[in-house]
Amino acid sequence: MIKLILVKRYAQGLAGALGDDAEFATVSRELTEFQERITSHAALKEILASPFVAARKKTRVIQDILAALDFQEKTRRLVLLLLEHGRLDLLGAILEELPALWNERRGVTTFEVSAVVSLGEVQKKKLQEKLERLEGRPVFLRYSIDPGLVAGLSLKKGNLVYDASVRGNLAKIKERISEG
């Protein structure tokens, strides 16, 4: 629970510090590239995770990597801040949370769409158009596959879940039957 709160705070801070869509795209890409480099390099992962390596040495290693990659100042500052507080492991979760917070800041509603199979482009477009009509503003859709749905869709907007799946309908029927 505490990690979720920290992730949200770091992501909100970063989203608030970004000026425009171009900067958001650049910083997101840089952070993703940094995350991929860290996770794909076994020796580097070991150094960063080790309690026996001095914090100064870890900072120097990360600074050298950031300098070689020529990242923007905001990217470097976030990475070094996470490292300083021993929270570099939160970077992946921050990257997942960032687009929704960036969209929220711009007045775009984010929906998490779960389906049994990947939706086609026509289906995605129709869903987006319908949701934009219902919301009265632009929407951003984040898709995922959930084999447990059986059929249909599940939409999540913040804490609200709209379940238009067979599993959801069966649960409603079961609830009605148990109520008498």
CATH of the domain at 68: 1.10.520.20
105-109 mean pLDDT: 82
* CA neighbor of 153 nearest in space, from 167, 137, 139: 167
pLDDT at 26 (0 to 100): 92
Alpha carbon dihedral 138, 31, 56, 70, in 10-degree steps, equals -120
Write down the mean pLDDT value for the chain.
Answer: 83
Same domain, 145 and 175: yes
Is 174 a residue whose pLDDT tops 80? no
Q: Are 26 and 89 in contact (CB under 8 A)?
A: no
Range of weakest confidence among 1-5, 131-135, 154-158, 168-172 = 168-172
Same domain, 68 and 116: no
pTM (predicted TM-score)? 0.69
**What is the 3 state secondary structure string of 45-102?**
HHHHHCCCCCHHHHHHHHHHHHHHHCCCHHHHHHHHHHHHCCCHHHHHHHHHHHHHHH
Is 24 a residue whose pLDDT tops 70? yes
Is 56 a residue whose pLDDT tops 70? yes
Question: 177 Cβ partners below 8 Å, 6+ apart?
Answer: none
Phi, psi (deg, nearest 5) at residue 41: -110, 105
Beta bridge partners, 157, equal 160
% of the chain with per-residue pLDDT over 90: 7
95-106 mean pLDDT: 85
Residue with tokens 């992730």: 7
Same domain, 128 and 41: no
119-142 mean pLDDT: 86
More reliable by pLDDT, 149 or 129: 129
Same domain, 84 and 125: no
4-27 mean pLDDT: 88
Identify the domain containing residue 34 by its residue range: 2-102
7-16 mean pLDDT: 88
Same domain, 80 and 137: no
107-117 mean pLDDT: 82
Same domain, 91 and 113: no
